[in-house]
Amino acid sequence: MLPFDYVRAADVDEAVNLLAADPSASYLAGGTTQLDLMKDGVLGPERLVDITRLPLRGITRSDGALHVGALTTMEELAADSAVERALPIVRQALLLGASTQLRNMATVGGNLLQRARCRYFRDPTVPECNKRDPGSGCAAVEHSARMHAVLGVSEKCIAVHASDLAVALVALDATVHLQGIPGRRSVPLTQFYRESGASPDVENVLVHGELITGVTIPMPPAAAASHYLKVRDRASYEFALASAGVVLVTREGTVEQARVALGGVASKPWRCLEAEQILTGSPATEETFREAASASVQGAWTVPGTAFKVELAQRTLVRALRTVSGVTP
């Protein structure tokens, strides 16, 4: 690991000022991604600004929403009583991720900003990686890419956005709160991430120095049912090959409201508005679910190793919709 300075920020303003003043500095939260990448030689910040003592940890409720501090751990959010009662999609997305030890360290803010799990990105001996070294090429497109993305990708980068939580939060229309030098702003999570088009190294709308302070999750209607389904090679401690987060309100066999997002198959948590349009107002049937699933993968771009994901994503979504609606095939 390269040498670096370590500073612990006393308050949010100090953290933001320290980072904004130093283009090579990074925030340190739970460290479960940041330190791995530094040890592997992928990242080499000259300064780490430790934010773990900032007063950004905890969960409150008001105005029909849950307000989650950025330093709340994944395990704390999963154990929250409102999440247990009304947000199974969030609880399942959290508990299907990483391991208990990791979830006790890993923060919500860090989870949303975790970097790609692409093995070429994480191996600095591989020279071609546009995300790590813009303009160098993409080893995944050239070589083996089974774990990679098919939606929101280009020949410049096919890395998956790995967060399970972000998929659930995108389906719930969550908003992320930021603080930077000019002040505070809030961004819908659906507009927070960028697709890996022209600049795979730019993954979201954050400007250097901006700190995630929290996330607001609107509570779904009382009649809504929600579910997060994760399909992977191993039953635990594994990232998604495909996942689906769904929130559905059905009445007398008809879908009244639908929110759908896919994970494991896209360069960002993938909200499926066309699938939602097909579902809304339609009978909750296998046929409707298949039609919605087909719409959810429109525009997929594959390389030989990833072609199976187009079918897998559809099957995952259909299964999640069946589970949440109680419809059997």
The residue among 168 and 297 lying less far from ligand FAD, judged by its C-beta, is 168
Q: Which stretch binds ligand SF4 (CB under 6 A): 7-15, 106-114, 133-141, 305-313?
A: 133-141
**Shortest separation between residue 202's beta carbon and ligand SF4, angstroms:** 12
Rounded to whole angstroms, what are the CA distances from 271 to 193, 246, 251, 312?
Answer: 11, 10, 23, 17
Establish if 28 lies at the interface with ligand SF4 (CB under 6 A). Answer: no
Rg (CA), the chain: 20
Pair of tokens at residue 175: 């908003």
Q: Per CB under 6 A, which region of 20-28, 62-70, 132-140, 290-298 contacts ligand SF4? A: 132-140
Which region, judged by CB under 6 A, interacts with ligand SF4, from 93-101, 124-132, 207-215, 309-317? 124-132
Q: Is there binding between residue 158 and ligand SF4 (CB under 6 A)?
A: yes
Position with the least CB separation from ligand FAD? 110
Beta carbon of residue 43, minimum distance to ligand FAD (angstroms, whole number): 8
Alpha-carbon dihedral 165, 167, 171, 173, rounded to 10 degrees: 60
- Shortest distance (Å) from residue 39 CB to ligand FAD: 11
Nearer CB in complex with ligand SF4: 182/197: 197
Give which of ligand FAD, ligand SF4, none residue 34 binds (C-beta under 5 to 8 Å, depending on kind): ligand FAD
Whole-Å CA distances, 101 to 23, 74, 95: 32, 10, 12
**Phi and psi dihedrals of 55, rounded to 5?**
-80, 60
- Contact between 157 and ligand SF4 by CB under 6 A: the answer reads yes
By the rule CB under 6 A, 147 interacts with ligand SF4: no
Q: Could you tell me the smallest distance in angstroms from the CB atom of residue 263 to ligand SF4?
A: 16
Q: CA–CA separation, 7 vs 18, rounded Å? A: 9
Closest approach of ligand SF4 to the CB of residue 128, in Å: 6
- Nearest approach, Cβ of 130 to ligand SF4 (angstroms)? 4
Answer yes or no whether residue 118 interacts with ligand SF4 by CB under 6 A. Answer: yes
CA 197 to each of CA 35, 159, 194, 233: distance values in angstroms, whole numbers, following the listed order: 27, 11, 8, 28
Binding stretches for ligand FAD (CB under 6 A): 26-34, 36, 51, 70, 97-98, 102, 105-107, 109-111, 113-114, 162-165, 211-212, 239
Other CB atoms within a 10 A radius of the CB of residue 187 amount to: 17
Q: Is 253 left (phi over 0), alpha (psi -120 to 50) or beta?
A: left
SS3 302: coil
Output DSSP code: residue 266.
Answer: B
The distance of closest approach from Cβ of residue 178 to ligand FAD in the complex, given in angstroms and rounded to an integer, is 8
Cross-strand bridge partners of residue 51: none
Question: For residue 204, what are the β-bridge partners?
Answer: 193
| Contact status, residue 174 vs residue 215, Cβ threshold 8 Å | yes
| Residue 120 binding: pick among ligand SF4, ligand FAD, none (C-beta 5-8 Å cut-off by kind) | ligand SF4
Instruction: Return the structure tokens found at 227.
Output: 């579910």
| Residues making contact with ligand SF4 (CB under 6 A) | 116, 118, 120-121, 129-131, 138-140, 157-159, 200
